Structure formats: C-alpha cells, structure tokens
Chains A and B, each alone.
Chain A
Amino acid sequence: MNITVGVLALQGAFAEHIYLLIQATKHLPQGLTWHFVEVRTPDQLAECDALILPGGESTTMSLVAARSGMLEPLRQFVKVHRRPTWGTCAGLILLAESANRTKKGGQDLIGGLDVRVNRNHFGRQTESFTADLDLPFLSGSSASKTEVDTRTKSFRSVFIRAPIVERILPHQPGAQDSESRISDTVVAPSRPPAAEDAAAQKAVAAQVEVMARLPGRATGLETGQTAREAGEEGDIVAVRQGNVFGTSFHPELTGDERIHVWWLKRVGEMVSDRRGAV
C-alpha cells in the first residue's frame, strides 16, 4: 500500500520533518510504501493521505496560506475529510479551534482541535528552553525491535517561543462561538465533516485527549520535585482528537524519531481503515 504524507512547506522547519519522517520509516512494519512531499499548492495537498504542519511563524503561514489559496483546502483536508494531521508549535496554533495573543486584528485558523491555544505562552526567545518529557503514549507502542528502555526513555523536547493548550473546549457542532466572545481570542470557522464519510463522522465525535504535560517549571527547578509530587499537573503540551494531533514543542529539532514513528503507525492504521471502508 502506498501512503503519501505531506509537510506544509509555506514557511518554517518543514525540511526537518521530512528528514525525521525518512528516519522513522526504518522502524515501521514492512508492506507499506511511504512517500513524503513538500506541500505548497492545493494540487499537492490533494495528493496527500496525511499532513504535518511544521513549526515556523504561525502569522506568516496563515497569511501565506490565505494568499496561496490554501486555507480552504486545508480546512477541507482536516475538518471535512478528517485526514490524519499533526501540527507542531505554529502548526498546533493553526489546528486549534481557538487561539489568543495573536497579532493585532487576529489571524486565520484552520481548526480541528477543540482547544484554546495561548501563543508565545512562555514569552520571548530568551525564555525558550529544552525539557525532558515523559510521553506515556510512546511506551504503549507495540511492534519494532526497539527495546523497552529506549521506548520509555524521556523525550528531549525543544520549546521555542512555544504555545500551550490553555483550555480544552467542549465539542459542539459549529464554531466555538462562546470563545469568539472572549476579547483578543480568534476562532476557526466551522466546516462540518462530510455526511457520507463514516471515518470523518467517527473522527469528529472523538474527545480531546491530553497526551503530554510539561511539569511545572518553577517548582521543578527549585526543588527537583516532579510536577505530580508537587501536586501540579503542568501545562498541556500535546493533545489528540480523532484524526488531529498537536504538540507545542518541536520533535523535528531533536533527531529523535520516536514520535514520528508513533504517528506514522497511527496514519497507517487510519489510512488502512479508510481504504478498507471504501
């Protein structure tokens, strides 16, 4: 089976994702043929079974997408056809149904994840950092000869002027109207899933799952305690809802392909399901 995975290449660190996707294929089961392509036009997007929205400047990506006729095709891809999509950092912002601290006049969102994202949550570049995160979803992944201790090893995560998921929103038909009434908050327009598409209908009914949290920084730094010991849950830095996955950090900057392996396996399953259903 051939699967084509696109990386949105309007601006940002798209080449890094393609590099790690290629690395990741070494750890995937045989029998699937993967193609990785840069996506700048609606025609290129139409070729894709799955898509990554990379890190970069979300304001730039959103403006360039609008001027390149990509915003609506992207919303169709993510929200109407509900194809597997992963956004990192700026990509997470674009995939949120609601975002704040955007530029004056707001910015266009694609949507797909029922969350509110707080842009530049930690502040400016001097507040950027790396952190070793425990990612429970990685240790759950079966297959591969990778030993258990490498699978469970913490993930060195790079946060650059990073956003976080500030709030998980109740899913509702239509746009997040209550969010749009909050000042300085922008929401994505509603694009209902295709009625005849069973996979899309199933994906849209999914709840938001919290996939990773960042242990409370100040507490951790002072006492060396973990967040749980300190009674803090920590900021939400990775979420999934149906077909859409988002991380506020940059796995593409680490040389560690484990999240790419995990995600490509999910893509393989989702694409197989979909093709089986046809």
Chain B
Amino acid sequence: MAGDIPATNGHGPASNGNGQSTNTFEVKAGLARMMKGGVIMDVVNAEQARIAEEAGACAVMALERVPADIRAQGGVARMSDPKMIKEIMETVTIPVMAKARIGHFVECQILEALGVDYIDESEVLTPADHLHHVEKHPFSVPFVCGCRNLGEALRRISEGAAMIRTKGEAGTGDVVEAVRHMRTVSGEIAKASQMSDMELRVMAKDIGAPFDLLKETAKLGRLPVVNFAAGGVATPADAALMMQLGCDGVFVGSGIFKSGDAAKRAKAIVQAVTHFRDAKVLAEVSTDLGEAMVGLNVEKMPEDQKMAKRGW
C-alpha cells in the first residue's frame, strides 16, 4: 500500500466526562498499529507459543489445529477449547489472538470473556452463518477479518473490524493467493484514488462497500486500518515479498510448525519482516532452514476446497 495511515484523533466516541474512555475504535485499531512490522504466528499449545515468543513474534494466534491439519482432517472446525487459550495467555506476555467462526457471535462473546487481545473472525474455521458476519462494533475486543478484495475489506471495517488481513489460501504453503488478494486490493485502491466523488459512488455500489469508507480509502491511498498478509506464507522470502507489496506485517499459520525446524524458521521470518528490503539479510536468514512445509498447489485444488471463498 502506498503510504502509512496518518495518526487520527477522530475515531470512536468522544471520551467521557472525566476524560477517560475504553474500547474506542482508536484503541482497537491502535493495538494493530503496535503489531506492524511484525509476525503473528499460529500456535496450538503453550509450548509452541513460547517458541513463537522467543522467535520474536509480535502476537500469537491460539487455535486447536493449524489450517494444514484442518484441511487434511476435514470435519467442522470451531473455536478452540478455552482451556488451551487460557494456558497460552498465561504462558506468554505478547498479545494472544483467537479465532471464531464467521458469523458466530457467541464464540466471540466467549473469547471476549476470556480476555483475548484480538478476535479473528476467520474463514479457516467452518462458517456459522451463510449471510452475516459478526457485528463487531459492540465488542470491547478488537477484530481482524480476512479479505480478497477492496469491497470485502471495507464491508468488514464497516462492521467494526479494526484490522484486515488479505486471505491468501490458508494451510497450503502456496503464496500465490496472498499475492493475488494483495495486488487486487492495491489495484482497486489505485483506481479509486483517481476517481471523482460521482465515480466513487458507482464504484461503491459495484463493490458493495460503504461510500464514506471508500472515499476515505481513496484519499489515503491505502486501507484505513492496518493490513497484514496471510495464507500460504512459508518462507522468509514469502514474508518479505508480502511486505514489499505493501502489507503492514505478516500472519504465518502452518508455515512454521509444519516445517522441519520451527524455531529457526520462525526467527528467520521475523528478521525477514524487519529487513524486508535488505536482500543480504534475506539471503542470510534463508540459509539452511531445513525443510519447508510440504505444501499444496492451489492451482490444482478443487474450488470447493478453497477456504478464501468463505466470507461474504
């Protein structure tokens, strides 16, 4: 994305009488800003969470099965057992995120009660509502949601998402879809930024996005919230590729703990995201990492097995 999000002072309700307020959009989107330039890693237990923390992850995503296993094992994928999430929260001091099914607002209420730092309303789990996403504004916990294009991103922000991730195709180790989605969003924003208000109204209708958010995005030349890459990132080079394409940071799911040497690969991806333009550092950290996750070729995958298509 072209630029950076300017600091704002206008989001969310004004502070209350004695000058203190919680849960404003500013506070929710603020935590996402603190994670920029960092790597958020999928972990399935406390031990993996510690490896991620030691590797320099800026947050962990607690879930029962990484996407590669959800793919392999099939069945309905749901919110994780609170016991596991709590163990992870007690083990690490970095922010802990957890996933809820699309539209499953009760799973979100439970995650909020547990006190997780971010909720991912995620297509990696089996959707619980075929039409609606969760209304996210009323929650005190901030949300991150996936997108494949600008319309989807702005619909999620309009519902209250304080952070966006391009979807990619989770659990494949194939970065092609992450690139496709990021390039699609950037391309649409570039087009929008050349448009008059009248043209933006037509575009808003065409992509199913609220006009005001589209106009703000066009003016900024980027999404108005932090945007991470996700889905298929398996190597330091993949991570740096997404950063050079303009992402603010990177989610790595199956790519770390499905590889040969998880700790080493995790550290390498963290270094790659900081030094994403420094090819010498990238060459150094890419060296001798052991086996990457095996990977599934997205092009050969039947349409009905693509998780990125979930979400409306």
Contact = CB atoms under 8 A, between A and B. Distances in A.
B22 interface: yes
Contacts of A127: 22
Interface in A107-144: 119-120, 123-133
B37 A16 contact: no
Interface residues of B, number: 56
A144 B272 CA distance: 43
Contacts of B71: none
A124 B142 CA distance: 12
Contacts of B21: 129-131
Interface string B57-70: 11100000000000
Contact of B56 (A64, A90, A154): A64
B118 interface: yes
A63 interface: yes
B141 A126 contact: yes
A129 B22 contact: yes
A256 B9 CA distance: 8
Given A57-B94, A156-B9, A68 B26 contact: no
A199 B9 CA distance: 38
A4 B56 CA distance: 29
B38 A56 contact: yes
A120 B267 contact: no
A55 to B, nearest CB: 5
B37 A130 contact: no
Contacts of A64: 56, 270-271, 274
A249 B203 CA distance: 39
A102 B115 contact: no
A126 B112 contact: yes
Contacts of B55: 63
Contacts of B141: 125-126
B89 to A, nearest CB: 8
B53 A59 contact: yes
Contacts of B86: none
A12 B249 CA distance: 10
B118 A125 contact: yes
A138 to B, nearest CB: 16
Nearest to A122: B22
Contacts of B305: none
A161 interface: yes
Contacts of B4: 15-16, 18-19
A60 B57 contact: yes
B30 A160 contact: yes
B123 interface: no
Interface residues of A, number: 56
A150 to B, nearest CB: 13
Contacts of A59: 53, 56, 93-94
Interface stretch (B11-19, B184-192, B251-259): B11-19
Contact of B34 (A55, A103, A105, A221): A55
A161 to B, nearest CB: 7
A261 to B, nearest CB: 14
B27 A11 contact: no
B10 to A, nearest CB: 8
B6 interface: yes
Given A130-B21, A132-B15, A56 B58 contact: yes
Interface string A159-197: 011000000000000000000000000000000000000
B27 A130 contact: yes
A92 B93 CA distance: 17
A57 B38 contact: yes
Nearest to A67: B271
Interface in A1-27: 9-16, 18-20
Interface string B142-174: 100000000000000000000000000000000
B18 A255 contact: no
A253 B19 contact: no
B274 A130 contact: no
Contacts of A213: none
The 8 lowest CB-CB distance pairs between A and B, nearest first, are: A132-B19, A15-B4, A125-B117, A63-B56, A255-B9, A129-B22, A57-B58, A11-B37
10 contacts: A16-B5, A55-B33, A124-B117, A125-B117, A130-B22, A131-B20, A132-B19, A161-B95, A221-B18, A254-B7
